[in-house]
Amino acid sequence: MKRIDVIATTISGSIADWKKVERIVPLFAEHGYSDVRLHSVDSHAAARAAACAALKEGGRIPISAGGSGTFRAVLEGCIDSGVGLADVRLGFLRKGSADLIGKVLDMPDEIERAIQVFAKSITADRHLPADILRASSPAGNEVPRHFIGYGGAELFGRIPYYTENRYTKYYKGILSQFFGDLGPFMTGVALALMERLIKAPFRRKTRWQIMADGRLAAEDAFQSIILVNGYLGPDLPYSDQPLGSGEFYCFGLRNLGASKLLPQIKHARDGSITDDPERWGLVPIVAKDNLEFIPDHGKPFPINVDGGTFIAKESMLFERVGQIPLIANAR
């Protein structure tokens, strides 16, 4: 019988999500999987260490039970282990806010159905390849990070400030309970947008160079810069390509002034911005190997890396460095 390692963060997602953890092992047992090891942790660092240890002990089916931060930590643990990633089957049990990848993999939110899907998919070895991106700032002090989902700068880079510190974990649980898993994310967007509008009259516009595979792809002042690894569902409707396409995608939202920012965000949110990109200042960029964001100042700046803040200096580099199979719905 295959060994399954479930790495669960104790405080991710809604209040209802917090109750899922204790039911995971019994539900897998109902589907014939008896060697299921639950690693309950209270931080992303601990999730990373647990995933690494599990793979070094011979496990090859780590399942992240949390939000995007937990999933990224488990991915990092898989990489840390030194195990060949082609032999790993990484799962995403939806227990967090804005769990975009779990939705793309067609994983149910309801725990009984989710475990049933996992059991069938693991038995059938149903998976989808996903490109791994590496985020680093060569001149900065931050340790490089690996991720699969999304990133960004300017307005998008500020959102994690409001959604990812330790205390906001509690209000995220309440917001997710009442407004769904996008509640905390949209609250973060609203707060970051409000901050930008208040500071707009006093804020100097930053001009950015965006380099794609070593060439200058765009140079302008942007209200927001969004990077996606492929299709992340209707909540980030900017690419229709699979996560393992061998390309990743950047979208700059040109700074057309504070009066245009709210309409720009509205059209970006519902995806209609792609119908008239010139009017709303959307600049699409495709890269195969690397993307680099370079501001026209030398000050540190925040970057959103899969829902977490990364403080960069001078430039921010994103590179496609490998692939990992993700467990997908076997329907």
pLDDT of 323: 97
The answer to whether position 329 is within a domain reads no
H helices then E strands: how many in the chain? 11, 15
Residues 139 and 115 in one domain: no
For residue 228, the cross-strand partners are: 150, 249
pLDDT of 135: 98
CA separation (Å) from 84 to 56, 59, 71, 88, 169? 11, 12, 18, 7, 34
**Which domain CATH number covers 174?**
2.60.200.40
Residues 56 and 140 in one domain: no
The answer to whether position 220 is within a domain reads yes
Q: How far apart are CA 212 and CA 289, in angstroms?
A: 8
Question: Of 108, 131, 154, which residue is a domain's last?
Answer: 131
* Count of CB atoms situated within 10 Å of the CB of 177: 16
The answer to whether position 298 is within a domain reads yes
**Which domain CATH number covers 73?**
3.40.50.10330
- Give the DSSP H/E element, type plus range, for residue 212: strand 207-212
Residues 102 and 211 in one domain: no
Residues 146 and 48 in one domain: no
The answer to whether position 145 is within a domain reads yes
75, two tokens? 């991915």
Q: How far apart are CA 268 and CA 235, in angstroms?
A: 10
Single out the residue of 13, 265, 309 nearest to residue 147, CA to CA: 309
pLDDT of 169: 52
pLDDT of 97: 53
In which domain, by residue range, is 74 found?
4-131
The answer to whether position 273 is within a domain reads yes
- Give the DSSP H/E element, type plus range, for residue 101: helix 100-104
Residues 44 and 155 in one domain: no
Q: Angle of helix 155-163 relative to helix 183-199, nearest 10 degrees? A: 120
Residues 214 and 267 in one domain: yes
Question: Of 75, 107, 131, which residue is a domain's last?
Answer: 131
Residues 100 and 142 in one domain: no
The residue with tokens 């069938």 is 120
The pairing of beta strand 91-94 with beta strand 62-66: parallel
pLDDT of 16: 55
Please state the pTM of the whole predicted model.
Answer: 0.88
CB–CB of 118/93 below 8 Å?
yes
Question: Of 110, 131, 152, which residue is a domain's last?
Answer: 131
217, two tokens? 């792809």
The answer to whether position 286 is within a domain reads yes
> ∠ CA(40), CA(116), CA(80), 5° rounding?
40
pLDDT of 176: 44
The answer to whether position 259 is within a domain reads yes
* Number of domains observed in the structure of the chain: 2
Residues 177 and 91 in one domain: no
Residues 29 and 160 in one domain: no
Q: How far apart are CA 66 and CA 27, in angstroms?
A: 17
Residues 180 and 242 in one domain: yes
Three-state SS for 284?
strand
272-302 burial string, b = 16+ CB within 10 Å, else e? ebeeeeeebbbbebebeebbbbbbeeeeebb
195, two tokens? 């901050």
The answer to whether position 37 is within a domain reads yes
Single out the residue of 248, 260, 118, 265 nearest to residue 189, CA to CA: 265
Residues 125 and 140 in one domain: no
- Give the DSSP H/E element, type plus range, for residue 26: helix 24-30
- Give the DSSP H/E element, type plus range, for residue 159: helix 155-163
Residues 212 and 289 in one domain: yes
Mean pLDDT by 10 residues, the chain (331 residues): 90 58 92 96 94 98 90 96 97 75 86 94 96 96 94 91 61 43 64 82 90 98 94 81 94 92 85 89 96 96 93 98 92 59
